[in-house]
Amino acid sequence: MTDTRDATQIGVRASAALSDSGRQWHVLASVSGAIYIESDSEELLWISANLVAMHRRAIMLRSMPVGRLTAGTQCFVEAGCLRIGDKLSIRLRNAVVWRPQPSIRVGPCAVESPRRILDAIERTARRSTPRGCFASIAYPSLADDAAGFSEVMAAKLEAIATPAIASLSRVSSGSGVSAELREAIGLVGLGGGLTPSGDDVLGGFLFTLRTLDSALLGLLGIDWQQIETWLRQIEGLTNKISFAILADHARGEGAASLSVLVNAGLDGSPEERLTQAVGQVSMIGHSSGWDMLVGVRCACMAATRILKGALVCRRGSANTDEV
């Protein structure tokens, strides 16, 4: 018997991909909270019921079907339905097409946004219990570091992650981002699951810097072509699903809740709204949200340092001009 469900929302990228009737699809992976499907051209989409993880690639249901689907199961679109084998049929006709928020224009709040976002993350960490061993590195006195890892594995992850996270946090110039990413390469693929914790940290870091740099009209001075080169170099170090999401983050395409958080910092939203946005990100997965927030935290620390240097240089130039 086929389980038929209605999609409530569909990301703009997923909508475009599924409108191409010539594509062939199959189940790449199925876990308790998501079904990942891949096309014959290696386009990745996923089906979920977790609204905080809404994304351009996502198809949202009110609830997930019971049981898991077999990897390799063929999928196709017919009469406005995504059919996954003979087990699941998802009606797409009435799904609202989701698009990310329009880019925030540069304004007086933009320069202060990294500090405001960082403060909101710190407030949330004090009020709750950050999850995962990566959060325990950033917040050693506050985090629940169990994260499903054995003591030996947690110690191994910490030994690699601690210096890598320190590398990302100490970036002091836009030109230094790619160099510190090379120093932090040990994070790629680090941890278990479909999106390893290290990839989530890097994703939060790159998405935040990309969004801030865009809003600040390139003031951070990051060479994004170098970041693309770095992405090509690390592609084989993690799994296909996690790499696609990490690459999206580096290009400024993230989960809806992550986008809302960074934009809330940019548009001058009040503290309460920022804290609420942090809470939404923290609800992604078991610890993926907090792993991303560790990356956001690193990015905000780096951006604050970069902006301070850039503004000092501008003032110095202005004083020279006056002379």
The residues spanned by each domain of the chain are 3-98, 113-314
> What pLDDT, on a 0 to 100 scale, did the predictor assign at position 306?
93
Residue whose C-alpha is closest to residue 8's, from 43, 54, 77: 54
Question: pLDDT band for position 85 (50/70/90)?
Answer: very high
- Please state the pTM of the whole predicted model: 0.91
Please state, in angstroms and as integers, the Cα–Cα distance from residue 255 to each residue in 99, 153, 181, 183, 216, following that order.
11, 28, 22, 26, 21
More confident residue, 191 or 321: 191
Residue whose C-alpha is closest to residue 280's, from 51, 84, 79: 51
Q: What is the pLDDT of residues 154-167, one digit of tens each?
A: 777 888 888 999 99
Q: What is the pLDDT of residues 23-40, one digit of tens each?
A: 899 999 999 889 999 999
Q: Please answer whether residues 42 and 36 qualify as being in contact, where contact means their C-beta atoms are separated by less than 8 angstroms.
A: no
Q: Is the pLDDT of residue 320 over 70?
A: no
Sequential DSSP letters for 43-56: -EEEEES-GGG--T
Q: What is the 3-class SS of 143-190, one letter each residue?
A: CECCCCCCHHHHHHHHHHHHHHHHHHHCCCCHHHHHHHHHHCHHHCCC
Q: What percent of the chain has pLDDT over 90?
A: 66
d(CA 30, CA 98): 23
> What pLDDT, on a 0 to 100 scale, did the predictor assign at position 130?
85
Residue owning tokens 């699809």: 25
Q: What is the pLDDT of residues 103-149, one digit of tens each?
A: 666 666 678 899 999 999 999 998 888 887 788 788 776 666 555 56
Paired residues of 82 in beta bridges: 77, 90
Neighbours of 259 (CB within 10 A): 20
The SS3 call for residue 68 is coil
Half-sphere exposure of 171 (CA within 13 A, CB side): 33
> What pLDDT, on a 0 to 100 scale, did the predictor assign at position 114?
93
> What pLDDT, on a 0 to 100 scale, did the predictor assign at position 134?
82
Q: What is the pLDDT of residues 167-186, one digit of tens each?
A: 998 898 999 999 999 999 99
Q: Is the pLDDT of residue 316 over 80?
A: no
> What pLDDT, on a 0 to 100 scale, did the predictor assign at position 275?
95
Please enumerate, as own/partner, the contacts of 19-23 that have beta carbons within 8 Å and a separation of 24 or more.
19/77, 21/77
Tokens for 257, please give them: 């809740």
Give alpha helix (H) positions in 190-287. 197-215, 224-234, 240-250, 256-266, 271-282
More confident residue, 192 or 100: 100
